[in-house]
Chain A
Amino acid sequence: MSAEWLFYVFSVLSVLGASGLVLFRHPMSGAMSLIVTMISLAGLYALLSAKLIFVLQLIVYAGAIMSLILFIIMFLNIQTIDLPEEKGRFYYLVGGIILISPIASFLIKVVKSLPGSEATIVGSGFGGVKEVGLVLFQDWLLPFEIVSLLLLVSLVGAVVLAGKRRLNK
């Protein structure tokens, strides 16, 4: 079955991209591998038949947010000398793995005990713009408005923080 194969390909790609983000030293390489993760996550959303979220993941995450991060990394012109020397990062990594792995294995055990659905077939409108929009503007109207306020506040905050001119320099 091709959906199974696609799932395995996308999940291996996303895990590889995430580990590349953790392991690469330069943030540019990390951002590139995070883009691989974002695109393969978009493929996973398509496999879960969430069409609108698939498109938005490609446009907003892999397009807008990651290009903003790449733009800032290039704007600051980071050389290898500017990077912080992370001598003990492998010790921190091993300690983090020791710390995280019991919690992660517990969560995986919990998830495995969920009552699973064996590939039920959803309607053709599942995850489309109309269905998501109906739920968004009927049941989630107040959170939607609060998010719009949050975006406005962060816009003003970014302009105030980054656009400050220093006159006394």
Chain B
Amino acid sequence: MIQNYLILSVILFSLGILGVISRRNVFTVFMSIELMLNAANLSFIAFSRLHESMDGQVLALLVMAVAAAEAALALAVVILLHKHKGKLDTNVFSLLKG
């Protein structure tokens, strides 16, 4: 029973990694990262149900807060870069490269 949830979490995490490495649209890459965080949350909650302790759910709560902070900052950076470059391609956003 719990194994099925964990297998689903593995599948969702792999789909998130596939989205990050195969797409170049910056929004899609960002949403794939959100998908990976969600998959981690699902496995946290499945383990908390398996061990019948609340710690996994508290960790999932903290992951949600981190995801909210990340969303605010990442979207601000996307707006700034779109204002500078006028594009949404992740290959254009290589400003930090030496």
Interface residue ranges, A against B (CB under 8 Å)? 7, 11, 14-15, 18-19, 21-22, 25, 27, 30-31, 34, 37-38, 41, 44-45, 48-50, 52-53, 56-57, 60-61, 64-65, 68-69, 72-73, 75-76, 78, 82-84, 86, 89-90, 92-93, 95-97, 99-101, 103-104, 107-108, 111-112, 114, 116-120, 122, 126-127, 131-132, 134-136, 139-140, 143-144, 147, 150-151, 153-155, 157-158, 161-162, 164
Contacts and interface: CB of A to CB of B under 8 A. Distances in A.
A30 B72 CA distance: 19
Contacts of B72: 68, 154-155, 157-158
Contact of B58 (A83, A119, A140, A161): A140
B46 A48 contact: yes
Interface string B24-39: 1101101110110010
Contacts of A134: 54
Interface in B20-56: 21-25, 27-28, 30-32, 34-35, 38, 41-42, 45-46, 48-50, 52, 54-55
Contacts, number: 225
Interface string B6-21: 1110111011111101
A136 B58 contact: yes
B15 A157 contact: no
Contacts of B14: 100-101, 103-104
Judged by DSSP, the binding face of B is helix
Contacts of B8: 11, 14-15, 44
A79 to B, nearest CB: 11
B94 interface: no
